Amino acid sequence: MSEHTTRGDAADPRFSALPQRPGKIVAVHLSYASRADQRGRRPSAPSYFFKPSSSLARSGDTIERPAGTELLAFEAEVALVIGRDVRSVGVDGAWAHVGWVTASNDFGLYDLRALDKGSNVRSKGRDGYTPLGPRLIDAREIDPADLRVRAWVNGEPAQDDATDGMIFPFAQIVADLSQHMTLERGDVILTGTPAGSSVVVPGDVVEIEVDAPNAPGAPSSGRLTTTVVQGETGFDPGVGSLPAVDDDQRTEAWGSREAAGLPPESAPGLSADLRDKLERAPVAGLSQQLRKRGLNNVTIDGVRPLHPGKKLVGLARTLRFLPNREDLFDSHGGGYNAQKRAFDAVRDGEVLVIEARGETGSGTLGDILAIRAHARGATGIVTDGGVRDIDAVTAVGIPVYTAGAHPAVLGRRHVPWDADLTIACGGTTVQPGDILVGDADGVIVIPPSLVEEVVDAALEQEIEDGWIAEQVAQGHPVEGLFPLAGEWKERYRAWRAER
């Protein structure tokens, strides 16, 4: 038979679509090329997370979006059900241990990903978050590279892809997992979702189907149907961390900024011409020009460069630490916290600026995070707090400005709180998108609206100062020369006009 229906565990209807209650459910993070292209990253090998068997649900069941959350997303997937126990099998023999395939919906609540991203324990392990079925397809009667997985939301197509578009074939996934654990009869492997996953809201109906349209009889799982309902219960703030969302999570949950209703993201970076000018303009000269325009509070004070010979130029990306409070560190300091998110999010041409209140009693970054920022293309890091592993951070090579070295970890003085907001660093206000320039004299913050005129004026002043320096070096007194006045000003103008 090409299709198989079984009661499974008669005592619990959640497992009625399976031969038995699975000992484990293993899910693949990213496996379809279309999804990888959408996310902008393509893994070199599969990675996994576990889901509890208590998260299983049947076709026709409802799924609850908890009170106080907004980003419940569906993911249509092919589920593999192991038919025979296997340990350490090769790719060539792996498929023989798969008994059945069927449809699954790997629901996830992005509001809960902040502190367990990667493990997905809270965001994907909730009761009812793994609908599966309604029928099993015999794995012996289909080509695993010729399956189709589709999703509909309220009857409208949402996902449609084929397994020949996978980065990691099913046999590779089974073989890889069997290197690390015994896969037992009844275990379920969720094989990842293609592009098109998005957010659903209470009242939406999601349908998933897996079929083999080119196999004899075109076997199908049938449509796995789940209805979203609104939950009445939220989360106890005294027990664990609360739901938290930002525009990055909204973008990932919906699939794009446009789908999430967010404005297009401005491309970071400066034009090549403007960057070249800023590279040539000294911080002292830029400071002088800003002061002429009434801006005196634009220097990040109390920080020194680990690389005095390197110039720092880039757009600000911000991160804020609050004073350590033990209960807040418990809720915000662990897992995928604001610090880690900021270092993962910094982009090419940006400078990560950290508000640490001038507190140098612990590090605000170490070598691993410096490596991450460097790999992301950041042009520098500025913190008015401490740096630990300072020799290793210096060796990374990315320009870093800090108030000093300290061996202690973050939690001694700070709670990583939030990112991408207006902060105070070294006594000055820094907003995301401000232009930062640093050299051996220090770091200055330039408002984007003034940068063109300020840098042009600073470079012109450099030419003037160079001419004055030549005159002084020839033995002329500074009176009338510095600053230019009277005859000396006329002589300079004549010299400059010739050039």
pLDDT along the chain (499 residues), means of 10: 43 80 94 83 87 94 94 96 95 95 95 81 93 94 94 96 92 96 96 94 97 94 96 86 85 87 71 93 95 95 95 96 92 86 92 96 94 93 96 95 94 92 96 95 95 94 88 89 84 85
Question: If one looks up domain 3-254 in CATH, what number appears?
Answer: 3.90.850.10
Dist. CA 407–CA 53, nearest whole Å = 43
pLDDT of residue 263: 81
Task: Give the CATH H-level superfamily of domain 272-450.
Answer: Ribonuclease E inhibitor RraA/RraA-like (3.50.30.40)
Residues 125 and 26 sit within 8 Å (Cβ to Cβ): no
Q: What is the Cβ-side half-sphere exposure of residue 296, based on CA atoms within 13 angstroms? A: 1
Provide the sign of the torsion angle of the four alpha carbons 463, 464, 467, 472, taken in this order. Answer: negative
pLDDT of residue 473: 92
Cβ burial, residue 490 (10 Å; 0-12/13-18/19+):
exposed
Beta strand 400-402 pairing with 380-383: parallel
Give the DSSP per-residue string, 436-488: EEEETTEEEEE-GGGHHHHHHHHHHHHHHHHHHHHHHHTT--STTTTTT-HHH
Residues 138 and 101 sit within 8 Å (Cβ to Cβ): no
Q: How much of the chain is in helix, strand and coil states, percent to nearest 5?
A: 30, 25, 45
Which pair of tokens denotes residue 379?
């042009």
Dist. CA 106–CA 206, nearest whole Å = 12
Would you list the domain boundaries of the chain?
Answer: 3-254, 272-450, 453-497
Dist. CA 242–CA 109, nearest whole Å = 12
DSSP reduced 3-state for 236: coil
pLDDT of residue 2: 39
pLDDT of residue 301: 97
Dist. CA 335–CA 116, nearest whole Å = 6
Nearest to 174 by CA among 108, 103, 83, 105: 83
Neighbouring residues of 391: CB distance < 8 A, sequence distance ≥ 6: none
Which pair of tokens denotes residue 11?
């005592």
Q: Per this entry, what is the length of the chain?
A: 499
Dist. CA 327–CA 89, nearest whole Å = 47
Which pair of tokens denotes residue 60?
């026709």
pLDDT of residue 11: 64
Q: What H or E segment, with its residue span, contains residue 99? A: strand 98-105
For helices 338-345 and 367-375, the axis angle rounded to 10 degrees is 30
For helices 272-280 and 451-473, the axis angle rounded to 10 degrees is 40
Q: What is the signed CA dihedral for 266, 272, 276, 277, rounded to 10 degrees? A: -60
Cis peptide before 134 (omega within 30 of 0): yes
pLDDT of residue 485: 85
Neighbouring residues of 494: CB distance < 8 A, sequence distance ≥ 6: none
